[in-house]
């Protein structure tokens, strides 16, 4: 039986080889994920995964994947990772966060995606303003 971490490592290796078929092979045909912080963003099926990565490999020809931390529990694997590279227009792309995958029959069956494009956010005060809707109270 293949451990969830082995499926994750195969996935990352396939990305590093820029092989959309090998990436897709890591996913069940009826795979489905969601990105809770980006409502409406859902990926369904192995074919959609393959198409998405094929597009990624063309648009970011030097794409690389780096695993920061990986943990597994029973039939789940949690990957903290970074995808980075240069877009075909010359701009840098860095995508970071955590993916949680459920593994069945040696493939990812479902996912919860907590990744986003890295950006300069303006520090903790700017984040608090975005979260609270305003400046700190004066006292």
In the chain, domain spans? 4-118
Instruction: Give me the mean pLDDT over the 125-137 stretch.
Output: 76
C-alpha distances in Å from residue 121, one per residue of 68, 126, 127: 21, 7, 7
Structure tokens at 60: 């970011």
Instruction: Give me the mean pLDDT over the 65-90 stretch.
Output: 95
- The count of other CB atoms within 10 Å of the CB of residue 52 is 14
Alpha helices for the chain (secondary structure H): 4-16, 20-25, 46-59, 123-132
Instruction: Look at the alpha carbons of 37, 41, 47, 53 in this order and tell me if their dihedral is positive or negative.
Output: negative
Whether pTM > 0.85 for this model: the answer is: yes
pLDDT at 75 over 90: yes
45 confidence band (pLDDT: 50, 70, 90): very high
Q: What dotted CATH number matches 4-118?
A: 3.10.450.50
The answer to whether the CB of 47 falls within 8 A of the CB of 27 is: no
């Amino acid at each position: 039986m293949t451990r969830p971490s082995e499926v994750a490592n195969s996935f990352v290796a396939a990305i590093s080889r820029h092989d959309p078929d090998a990436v897709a092979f890591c996913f069940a045909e009826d795979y489905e994920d969601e990105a809770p912080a980006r409502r409406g963003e859902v990926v369904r099926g192995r074919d959609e995964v393959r198409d998405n990565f094929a597009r990624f490999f063309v648009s970011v020809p030097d794409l690389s994947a780096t695993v920061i931390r990986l943990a597994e529990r029973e039939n789940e694997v949690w990957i903290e990772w970074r995808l980075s590279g240069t877009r075909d227009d010359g701009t840098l792309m860095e995508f970071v966060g955590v993916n949680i995958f459920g593994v069945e029959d040696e493939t990812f069956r479902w996912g919860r995606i907590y990744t986003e494009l890295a950006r300069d956010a303006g520090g903790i005060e700017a984040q608090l303003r975005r979260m609270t809707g305003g400046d700190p109270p004066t006292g």
